[in-house]
Structures are given as structure tokens and as C-alpha cells.
């Protein structure tokens, strides 16, 4: 905000440009936030599938070895690993897109600053234009940090909301003690075996 104010005060017409750029940044942030949130949810979903596959493989290791399924399990786990990494690659791509769009926006602001300064009848001093240009260069990094921090905050709040929803909606056993014996209605708890033949070999 301070950089935007300095740029606007050095060249008066830049205040309108800064307001338009702020509206543009809000639109970009909304688009980036939606896409980033969907990719992070997809990332969580696919990684959960991968972790489940790893846990099942570890639990059934003896069965996998006995039935000689090692090659199939390795191939299956590699396929799940590849699928689980796709959202991270896409997230990296949209982060690069965000940097490109914000830097193009700042380049447009710098071009407008120079153009407006050259066309004004009461030209601002060279020092004022220089201070504005230096602040515009730093403005690009500030915009990127602002949008990525805002998106990280929104994503973290979304994760907290999912945990809260999970805690509230997941049924829990109330007042259950580990040593409680629960009997089925109409059963006496006895087991009888009749006509059983067992042989070996």
C-alpha cells in the first residue's frame, strides 16, 4: 500500500491506474485462489490413495511375496505415485502463471507511468519519476507476495474447515469402554460344533 501511495503521489494521474491495477489484482487473486484450492484438494485426495496403497502393501507383504505379485504391486504403486504428483506440477504451473501475469501488470503500470509523465504539460521532475519507477520494480514482488500469502491463508483456513467438518460429522462411540461386553439379542454366548472332521495332508 505504501508503495502504491508513493507511486500515486509522485505522478498524480497514477492514482487512477493504481486503483485499476488493484481491481485487476483482486480478479487475478480470485481466479488463482479457486484453481489453487481445487488443485490442493485433488492433491490431498490422490495422496490419500497413495498412502492407502502403501499401507495395504505393507500389511499384505507376505501374501504379495507368496503369490509373486511383486512386479504388479511395484507397477501399481508407481502409477499411483505418478498420479499423486500431477496436482503438484499443475500447482507449480499456475504459480508461474501468477508471477508472469503480475509482472506483466507491473510492466504495464511502468509503461503508463512513463507515457503519462511524457505527455503531461506540467511534467513531474526526473527525481519523482525515478522514485516512482524504483517503487514499481519493488511493487511486482510485493504484489506476488501479497497474492500468494492471501491464497496460503485461504488454503489453510480451508484445511481447518475440513478438519472441523470431519470432527463434527464423523460418528463417534459415546461412553464406550474397552472391556464392555455386548451380546447379541437372543444369544447365550455358547459355541457348539457338530459333525466336524479334520485331517492333515
| Average pLDDT in the chain | 79
Q: How many beta carbons lie within 10 A of that of residue 38, not counting itself? A: 13
Measured CA to CA, the distance from residue 43 to residue 84 in angstroms comes to 6
Q: Region of 187 please: left (phi>0), alpha (psi -120 to 50) or beta.
A: beta
**3-class secondary structure, 183:** coil
pLDDT at 75: 92
Q: At 178, phi and psi to the nearest 5?
A: -65, -25
78 pLDDT band, cuts 50/70/90, is very high
Q: Which residue has the cell 447379541?
A: 184
Domains located in the chain, CATH noted:
2-168 (1.20.1560.10)
- Rounded to two decimals, what is the model's pTM? 0.64
The DSSP-derived string for 77-94 is HHHHHHHHHHHHHHHHHH
Q: Which residue has the cell 508513493?
A: 6
Cβ-contact 91, 39 below 8 angstroms: yes
Which residue blocks in 11-125 are alpha helix, DSSP H?
A: 14-59, 61-66, 70-119
Q: What is the pLDDT of residues 143-176, one digit of tens each?
A: 778 877 887 787 778 778 878 888 888 777 665 5
Measured CA to CA, the distance from residue 75 to residue 53 in angstroms comes to 12
Q: What is the pLDDT of residues 43-71, one digit of tens each?
A: 888 888 888 888 998 898 888 888 888 99
Amino acid at each position: 500500500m505504501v508503495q502504491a501511495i508513493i507511486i500515486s503521489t509522485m505522478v498524480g494521474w497514477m492514482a487512477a491506474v493504481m486503483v485499476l491495477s488493484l481491481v485487476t489484482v483482486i480478479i487475478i487473486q480470485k481466479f488463482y485462489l479457486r484453481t489453487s484450492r481445487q488443485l490442493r484438494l485433488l492433491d490431498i485426495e490422490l495422496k490419500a490413495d497413495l498412502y492407502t496403497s502403501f499401507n495395504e502393501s505393507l500389511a499384505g507383504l507376505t501374501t504379495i511375496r507368496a503369490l509373486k505379485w511383486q512386479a504388479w504391486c511395484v507397477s501399481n504403486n508407481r502409477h499411483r505415485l505418478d498420479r499423486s504428483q500431477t496436482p503438484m506440477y499443475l500447482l507449480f504451473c499456475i504459480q508461474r502463471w501468477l508471477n508472469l501475469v503480475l509482472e506483466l501488470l507491473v510492466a504495464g503500470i511502468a509503461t503508463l507511468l512513463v507515457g503519462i509523465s511524457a505527455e503531461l504539460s506540467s511534467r513531474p521532475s526526473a527525481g519523482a519519476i525515478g522514485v516512482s519507477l524504483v517503487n514499481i520494480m519493488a511493487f511486482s514482488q510485493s504484489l506476488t507476495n501479497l497474492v500468494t500469502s492471501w491464497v496460503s491463508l485461504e488454503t489453510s483456513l480451508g484445511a481447518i474447515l475440513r478438519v472441523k467438518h470431519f470432527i463434527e460429522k464423523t460418528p463417534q462411540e459415546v461412553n464406550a469402554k474397552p472391556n464392555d461386553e455386548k451380546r447379541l439379542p437372543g444369544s447365550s454366548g455358547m459355541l457348539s460344533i457338530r459333525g466336524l472332521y479334520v485331517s492333515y495332508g
